[in-house]
Structure formats: C-alpha cells, structure tokens
Chain A
C-alpha cells in the first residue's frame, strides 16, 4: 500500500512539473516582453515626475504583448534545419504556419499578461476612456500585422546568412529606440521627432498606445493610420519580394 502511494506521488509530481513547465515558459516570455516598457516607465517617471506617462506605458505593455513576434525562432530555424523543404511541399503558402504560430503565441501572451496589466494599471495611476480604447483597437490590429511582416522579412535573412537571429535582434533594437520604448516619440529630440513619426517603428509599436493614452488630436490619429496603411503595403510587398529571392537561393538540407 505504501509503495502504491509512493508511486502515485511520483506521477503527481511528474505531471505537475510537466504542466508547470509549459505555463512557466509562457510566463517567462510574457516577462521578457513587458520588461522594456516597464523600465521605460520607471526611467521617465524618475526623469519627468510631473508628466503623467503611466497610461502610455501601460498601454504600450498591452501593445507589446499583442504584437510579440518570434519568427527568427519559428521560421529561421526551419530554414537552417532544412524543415522548410517539408513546408514547401504542402498545398498552401508557407507563411500560413509561421502566421498561425505567431497568432497562437500572441494569444497566450495576451491571455497571461493582460489580466496582470489590468490589475496593476490602477496602482500605476493609469486609466483609459472607452472611446480612446475603441479608437486604438484598429491601430493595434494594424500594428500587429505590420510587426509580423517586419519580423518575418528580417527572419528571411536566414536564406543568406547564419546571423538571422542577430538581424532580427537589430530590428528589435530599432523598434526599441524609435518605436516608443526608449522614449515616447513626442519626447525624441527636435530633429528626430518627425523622423520617428514617419518611420514604421512607431506605426508597429507606439501609435496604438498613444491613441489609448489619449494624447493625440484627431488629425494626428488620422495621419498615424495613414502611415500604418502605407508601411503595411510596403512591408507586404517587401516580404513577398524577399521571400521569392530567398527561395531561389534555398537548397534542401540532407538526402
């Protein structure tokens, strides 16, 4: 009887740990995504205590979770490992699988991270009006699409170089610097500000957060949506072009 109890206890421990493993990995991914905006909030609260930046950065955390992209892991590694050859034989565009993985990961990020954000936001003094959130929602969808195309295009560097992870990391650095994490775009130094507003990084990151935080006029919102549409079209074209060029270079790995 004692042996039976010990064996059952071992199985309980094993399956508890295996379920915990899956959850803990999602939690660590969420933690990785929220650290940059939260550090930004701490820095700017210390630097400019009079400016109420909490709504912006709390909204930016939600944007970060909803636009997280890992195509350097899901796509580049398949190119390096030769598994892309199997994907090319399937009767549908190859992009469907990384897109599906991307959406699934983002759903997990949002499911785990957003309840925490909603709980913590009042403590940070962040509040949002329903009108601003409704106006920001389409911008978030466009930002998510743009971020996927951006990271997907960078990940295609795997066709040419072993440094795809580094290149995607470089792309992430640009988003951090010019996309509203390091500083809200409106706080960029004079000459950089119009550049920051026009470049794609704000469109794929800060813009939805700026709308949700209530800091933009109607004309600024319309202009921002215009930039999102332009960059979305450009990156869709770029992704398709780079994909075709990469495919011509690709040779299978193995027998």
Chain B
C-alpha cells in the first residue's frame, strides 16, 4: 500500500496543473461548507444544541474522513459492480494479496488528501474558538473515534460494493455518496426515526458527530467503547460478507 501511495503521489505531482486544480476545487468545496455554516449561524446561536465552534469541528471531521475515503477507498470501489461484470475483478483474484484489500485499498488518489488537510485545519479552527480548549482525553478519544469512524465508513462502502456478487447490475456508488452527505451536520437536526437510522443502519453519526462531540465536549468512555466495538464488528461483518460473495463468484470471462 505504501508503494502504491508513493507511486500514485509521484504521478499526481508530475501534473502540476492537475494538482493546482484539485487544490482549488477542494478549497472551494470546503469554503462552501463553511460559508453555509456561517449563513446558518447568522440566524441562530445553536443548531440542534451545537454552537458554531462545535459545528465547525464536526464539519472538519466530515472533511477529514471524506478526503481519506476519496483518496484510498473511492478510487477502488467506485462503480465496482461494473468491474465485476466486465472481468477486471478476475485480475485481482490472481494477485498474491487478499482480494478484499486489493479491491478496496489497492490504488489511491493522493490529491484527495487535500480535503483531509483542509478538514484538519477546520477542526483546529473550530477548537480554537471553543470557550475552553479541548482536554487531552477529548483529543485522544476524538482521534480514536475518527479512526473508528473511518473503519466503519470503509466497512459500509465495502458491504455496499459486495452487493455486486449477488446483483451485479446494482451500482450503489451514487447512493453511498448521497447518504454520506447527511454527516455534514449534527444528527440532532434530523427526525428521531432518521437519527436512529443514522446511528445504526447507516452509521454516519459514528463517523462525524460522535468524534466531534468527543473533541469538543470531552470523552465518554461508554460511547468510545461502543464505537470501537461497532467498528470491529463492522470490519468482521465485511470480511464475512466478502468471503460469502467470493464463494458465489464465478469468473466474468471464459
């Protein structure tokens, strides 16, 4: 994975115009997100109980995870069903590495990390505006929860992609991208039913709201333990479903 990242980075940096364009487009997207928050807080002091500084940290967490997914996961799993249908997946099965790893993390687009860097900056800016700085425990818990959120996001993406083994015509990439946007804001803004769905079935809350809450309000050991257990469970489920899908799979080519 390190070699793949180094190679992809070299290739990306060779095209400076592309690098400049990617940074500009990413910066615009981040700025639009922050501008939207600014417009909202022009009209209210708190959004579902989240003051501006905390909501900024949450948005930063969203960008950090988004950037990492766009850099390492989406280049591999975007329109995965098409790769299964046309036989590109067969090549992966012949390589001497786990297929779930190669299929989900085999290649990368390093330029997308610009979003994660800007997200980290956004988190720092939000934390700086808090009345009280974050505690060490909160920072450590927030970091651990972000990693857990990333694992959950990866697992959810792979699980959706695994549908291709049972229904190769169904392409969930667009749906995943849409549902992911729900994590930009505190889940408290959604209806109670949607909040339950976003905590259990489509765990966007664990990916952004929970880490941001730990960073801004301090660590809650029960939430930390639940999130870590959820992450481990999600990864284990993904491996099981992937293996089951592979058992069904017969080559797309003769």
Contact = CB atoms under 8 A, between A and B. Distances in A.
Contacts of A35: 178-179, 181-182
Interface residues of A, number: 36
Contacts of B181: 35-36, 39
A20 B40 CA distance: 40
Contact-residue bracket for chain B: 35 or more
Interface string B11-40: 000000110011001001100100110111
Interface string A103-128: 00000000000000000000000000
Interface stretch (A84-92, A136-144, A181-189, A234-242): A181-189
Contact of A161 (B21, B28, B179): B21
A215 interface: no
B94 interface: no
B3 interface: no
B47 A32 contact: no
B189 A46 contact: yes
B21 A177 contact: no
B32 A31 contact: no
Contacts of A169: 25, 29
Nearest to A33: B178
A154 B182 CA distance: 27
A225 to B, nearest CB: 26
A17 B22 contact: no
Nearest to A48: B43
B170 A24 contact: yes
Contacts of B17: 161
Interface string A14-29: 0001101110110011
B35 A177 contact: yes
Interface in A23-55: 24-25, 28-29, 31-32, 35-36, 39, 42-48
B21 A163 contact: yes
Interface in B91-129: none
A176 interface: yes
A58 B18 CA distance: 38
B185 A43 contact: yes
A173 interface: yes
Contact of A173 (B21, B28, B167, B182): B28
B42 A166 contact: no
B177 interface: yes
A189 B39 contact: yes
A83 interface: no
Nearest to A24: B170
A166 B21 CA distance: 8
A187 to B, nearest CB: 7
A170 interface: yes
B169 A20 contact: yes
Which of A22, A43, A48, A170 has its CB near the most chain B CB atoms (within 10 A)? A43
B174 interface: yes
B40 to A, nearest CB: 5
Interface in A192-242: none
22 contacts: A17-B170, A20-B170, A22-B169, A25-B171, A31-B174, A31-B179, A32-B177, A35-B178, A42-B189, A43-B189, A45-B189, A46-B48, A46-B188, A47-B43, A47-B44, A47-B47, A161-B21, A163-B22, A163-B25, A173-B32, A177-B35, A189-B38
Given A24-B169, A163-B22, A189-B38, 8 more contacts: A17-B170, A22-B169, A25-B174, A31-B178, A32-B177, A44-B40, A166-B25, A177-B36
